[in-house]
Amino acid sequence: MTSHTKWSDIPACRALSITAGSIFSPGQITKTLHKQRGAAAIEAALMFVLFFSLFYAIVSYALPLLMVQAFNHAAASGARSALAIEPDEFENTSQFIEQGVKPRVREVIAETLDWLPPTAKTAVLGTQNNNIVIEFNETTGVLAVTVIYSGYREAPLIPTLKLPGMGDVPRLPTNLQGSASVSL
């Protein structure tokens, strides 16, 4: 198409003017197309916001779910490691738990969660891994291990996004935790 071609010389446009000739004149169609020029940019901007929010929601929900699964795995690994401690090497059950089981469980959990960023690792494990909750019920012989990320909602690894009409994305629990138990 050359620059001096008339609108009515193009076959498709001629057919359009014949079929829609009583509704639109060629000048009206051209004016309508010029009015629509910025609509694509606005639609693209709205779609970007929608897709970015969706992507952000997926990532920001996936990380806490990954962490909860990692905490469950770490707690289970720690609880299983307690089975490797020989109780006959200790004088009594209390000594067996305090000097044998708890240090071993804390060590295994710390090794399992070594991939966490330093701030998260400190929040979860504490100093010398003392944030790990290890409880032993002497009557049932069950060792319960719990790994907790206290206050995750206030200090998440990925910041929450506040969307109008939706609120916080993601909506997270106050604490993330995983637990496991084993019979000794």
The pTM (predicted TM-score) of the whole model is 0.72
- Which stretches of 77-131 are assigned E, i.e. beta strand? none
The answer to whether the bond into 64 is cis (omega within 30° of 0) is: no
Q: Which two tokens stand for residue 21?
A: 């000739």
Report the C-alpha gap between 99 and 106 in whole angstroms.
11
pLDDT of residue 171: 84
Q: Which residues on adjacent β-strands are paired with residue 143?
A: 136, 182
pLDDT of residue 26: 60
Q: Which two tokens stand for residue 138?
A: 């002497």
3-class SS letters over 68-92: HHHHHHHHHHHHHHHCCCCHHHCCC
Say if CB 132 and CB 109 are below 8 A apart: yes
pLDDT tens for the chain, 184 residues long, are 555 666 566 665 555 555 544 565 666 666 665 666 677 788 888 899 888 888 888 888 899 999 999 999 999 999 999 999 998 888 998 999 999 999 999 999 999 999 999 999 999 999 888 899 999 999 999 999 999 999 998 888 888 878 777 778 788 889 999 999 999 8
Q: In the chain, where are the structural domains located? A: 59-183
pLDDT of residue 74: 96
Burial 163-183 (b: 16+ CB within 10 A, else e): eeeeeebbebeeebbbebebe
**How long a stretch of residues is the chain?**
184
Report the C-alpha gap between 115 and 153 in whole angstroms.
20
pLDDT of residue 116: 92
